[in-house]
Amino acid sequence: MKLLLPATVRQVAGQLGVWERIESALADRDWIDEIASLPVRPSRAATRLGSYQQRGGSPRAILLQPVLEPHLLRETFLHELAHACDHRDNQAGRIYRRPHGEGWRDWMARLGCRPEVRGHSAALAMQYVSRLKTVAVCSRCGSEVRRLRRLNRRVRYLHAGCGGRLKPV
């Protein structure tokens, strides 16, 4: 399955087959359309599966890693959606606090999820490893240092393993 992003909560829920449960969890709330039209955008974070963004005391967007396995996509989407519902329901107009508190746990239950905070994605871990670049080589032992970002060339780095000088590549 390839998730098409950006999209709205309603569209992503349709792609993931979870709209019916969201609709019934939100049936008695007059802000259901607000949540349904909330944007879902691709996340570029290195290791987080997803996140919830707020602005001015209101839900702003859900970010999701499109490379996740289907069950994790569904789980992560509902986890972040529960934050949006908790914010809108219990803390409307205020900066969202206590993100994994009682209100969020209630919304997770309404959405048919166990209130676990994070899953692990093998697909995301592989994407992370493939994004690492060799940024330096140790001049003493030849070890390569791999990171997401380059080293600052004006700083001298030593290899933690042997104490040799690291040469940026």
Q: Of 162, 165, 168, 169, which one interacts with Zn ion (CB under 5 A)?
A: 162
Q: Of 141, 148, 158, 169, which one interacts with Zn ion (CB under 5 A)?
A: 141
Give the number of other Cβ atoms within 10 Å of residue 113's Cβ. Answer: 18
Q: Which of the ranges 15-23, 41-49, 105-113, 132-140 carries the binding residues for Zn ion, by CB under 5 A?
A: 132-140
**Number of residues in contact with Zn ion, rule: CB under 5 A?**
7
Q: By CB under 5 A, tell whether 87 contacts Zn ion.
A: no
Q: Which of the ranges 17-25, 69-77, 125-133, 155-163 carries the binding residues for Zn ion, by CB under 5 A?
A: 155-163
As given in the structure block, the two tokens for residue 166 are 């690291």
Q: Which of the ranges 7-15, 28-36, 42-50, 136-144 carries the binding residues for Zn ion, by CB under 5 A?
A: 136-144
Binding site for Zn ion (CB under 5 A): 138, 140-141, 143, 159, 162, 164
